[in-house]
Amino acid sequence: MANKKIVSRDVDFAKWYTDVVSAAHLASYSNVKGCIILEPYGYLIWERIQEIMNKMLKASGHQNMAMPMLIPENLMKKESELIEGFAPEVAWVTEGGSNKLEERMCIRPTSETLFSDYYSNIVKSYRDLPIKYNQWCTVMRWEKETRPFLRGREFWWQEGHTVHETKEEAEEETRFIMDNVYKKLFYDYFAIPAITGLKTKSETFAGAEYSITIESLMYNGVSLQSGTSHYFGQKFSKAYDIKFLNRENKLEYAYQTSWGVSNRMIGAIIMVHSDDDGLVLPPKIAPIEVIIIHIGDDLEIKTLANTYKEKLENNEISVTIDDSSKTPGYKFAEAEVKGIPVRIEIGRRDLENGKVTLVRRDTKEKKEISTDADIVSVIKEMLDNMQSDMLERATKRRDKMTYTANNLEDVKKIMEGTPGFIKADWCGSLECEQKMKEIKGLKSRCILENTKPLTGKCVVCGKEAKDLVVWGIQY
């Protein structure tokens, strides 16, 4: 009984995706080209993600703050790689009120310039360091083709910008964010077995010395760059003059990092876990974990529903009762489309037998429990199982869709079927990277670290391999 508003994901994955987004009321198109409206249910998921990340970031000494949304062109130009990277895709404000501006300003596509300019004013001594700031905001990039959550002109994200006394500390921060914040977020909360590694030179962030990326594999085998953490070394501090007196009382340029994840993560959650009935949300990020649906509404049913709600809420499980006048079938479908992890059905007949029915969203598995059962522990166990089962299933799929290739023939053969992650050795040359692109647009996703090459020969040119790279089709 698939949802009528949603095409099957095996028939038309792209349409299935947008169908799920709109059927679950996560986002809708606006009359502002390329910009979406984040609807209340989508926003609740975003708030949940913010809550989880804020806890992690604050616990590790990061502080939230906020920068202006505009960047004067001159300020942007100070770091040449950055302006080259972003100039073609920014929105320019040229008029304020009724006057033409003397200098145009862009709406931030990212805020390295503003943070660096600010840091050049406030950093004086090693005693001022480290500074670990983060901001939640929207940024704007003038994309031509857009898709809800995956690519949009305006999108919601967090951007962290830190300044350190030493190279080591800055590199440690770059790693910390990837390993202890982003990876944790993906594995422990999103149930997504994302892989991490270095970006190749051509895919490195404009202005960074290196970028670490977290890449997820979607249900259809396509890869999604899901977050990045950049080490800047002294590139920005030299361009923006961020100097401090070090412990030897000498002036030194500071070491910086930046890192960000966006509402694209919501796109990843959809494309990894959801099905033809709509959204499937990992319990740990579901804004509503349990929905109670009446079948009939006599007093006994209502009382039990309220008792369950109270007990669960007292144990910090978010619950809602659907006591609307819609039919049970309609309510079930709606709860499914929204991906609510567990549904409790309370019906007259079951109740007479002292039972209620629980249904898990991911497997549709039904479980009858006695009305005497301890509802809190039953639900907690169900949610925990669902969370870990979802990660396990996604991991199995990822592993099944991860291939190894020793030469171009292997690569082409793999790409005749469903794509996935392709592991293959690489010599490090841009030329070979571009040759891979000719095969259905394959791009390097990341360089695996601390792993040995497969054959020791570049998959393209056959020369000595430098790295083992994961390749894939990207969103």
Task: Please report whether residue 91 would count as binding its own copies according to CB under 8 A.
Answer: yes
Amino acid at 265: M
For its own copies, the binding residues in 413-452 under the rule CB under 8 A are: none
Instruction: Name the residue with tokens 């600010």.
Output: 118
Among 11, 61, 95, 452, interactor with its own copies by CB under 8 A: 95
Task: Please report whether residue 321 would count as binding its own copies according to CB under 8 A.
Answer: no
How far is 227 from 445, CA to CA, in rounded Å?
A: 12
Among 22, 138, 395, 429, interactor with its own copies by CB under 8 A: 138
Task: Please report whether residue 40 would count as binding its own copies according to CB under 8 A.
Answer: yes
Task: Report the residue number, 33 or 349, with the smaller CB distance to its own copies.
Answer: 33
Residues 293 and 345 sit within 8 Å (Cβ to Cβ) = yes
- Smallest separation (angstroms) from its own copies to the CB of 135: 8
Window of 113-121, 278-286, 297-305, 449-457 that interacts with its own copies by CB under 8 A: 113-121
How far is 471 from 458, CA to CA, in rounded Å?
A: 13
CA triple 103-104-108, angle to 5 deg:
130
Among 126, 133, 190, 210, interactor with its own copies by CB under 8 A: 133
Number of residues lying near its own copies (CB under 8 A): 50
Neighbours of 180 (CB within 10 A): 13
Task: Report the residue number, 140 or 473, with the smaller CB distance to its own copies.
Answer: 140
Q: What does each C-alpha distance from 271 to 187, 321, 370, 381 come to in angstroms?
A: 15, 28, 36, 25
Window of 68-76, 160-168, 176-184, 372-380 that interacts with its own copies by CB under 8 A: 68-76
Task: Please report whether residue 456 would count as binding its own copies according to CB under 8 A.
Answer: no
Among 97, 249, 250, 349, interactor with its own copies by CB under 8 A: 97
How far is 386 from 342, CA to CA, in rounded Å?
A: 9
Task: Please report whether residue 31 would count as binding its own copies according to CB under 8 A.
Answer: yes
Among 23, 107, 214, 304, interactor with its own copies by CB under 8 A: 107
Q: What does each C-alpha distance from 66 to 2, 121, 134, 204, 275 come to in angstroms?
A: 44, 16, 8, 26, 38
Task: Please report whether residue 13 would count as binding its own copies according to CB under 8 A.
Answer: no
Q: Which stretches does DSSP call E strand in 171-318?
A: 195-198, 210-217, 223-233, 243-245, 251-253, 255-262, 290-295
Task: Report the residue number, 142 or 187, with the smaller CB distance to its own copies.
Answer: 142
Residues 416 and 439 sit within 8 Å (Cβ to Cβ) = no
- Smallest separation (angstroms) from its own copies to the CB of 115: 9
Task: Report the residue number, 28 or 353, with the smaller CB distance to its own copies.
Answer: 28
Token representation of residue 472 = 């894939």
- Smallest separation (angstroms) from its own copies to the CB of 206: 16
Among 90, 408, 424, 447, interactor with its own copies by CB under 8 A: 90
How far is 396 from 187, CA to CA, in rounded Å?
A: 14
Among 24, 52, 71, 82, interactor with its own copies by CB under 8 A: 71
Window of 93-101, 202-210, 334-342, 366-374 that interacts with its own copies by CB under 8 A: 93-101
Among 37, 84, 180, 364, interactor with its own copies by CB under 8 A: 37
CA triple 340-474-263, angle to 5 deg:
40
Among 2, 56, 69, 376, interactor with its own copies by CB under 8 A: 69
For residue 62, which phi and psi values (nearest 5 degrees)? -90, 150
Q: What does each C-alpha distance from 127 to 59, 244, 246, 264 come to in angstroms?
A: 21, 9, 9, 37
Residues 392 and 272 sit within 8 Å (Cβ to Cβ) = no
- Smallest separation (angstroms) from its own copies to the CB of 306: 18
Binding site for its own copies (CB under 8 A): 28, 30-32, 35-40, 42-44, 47, 63-72, 75, 87-98, 104-105, 107, 114, 117-118, 121, 133, 138, 140, 142, 154, 156
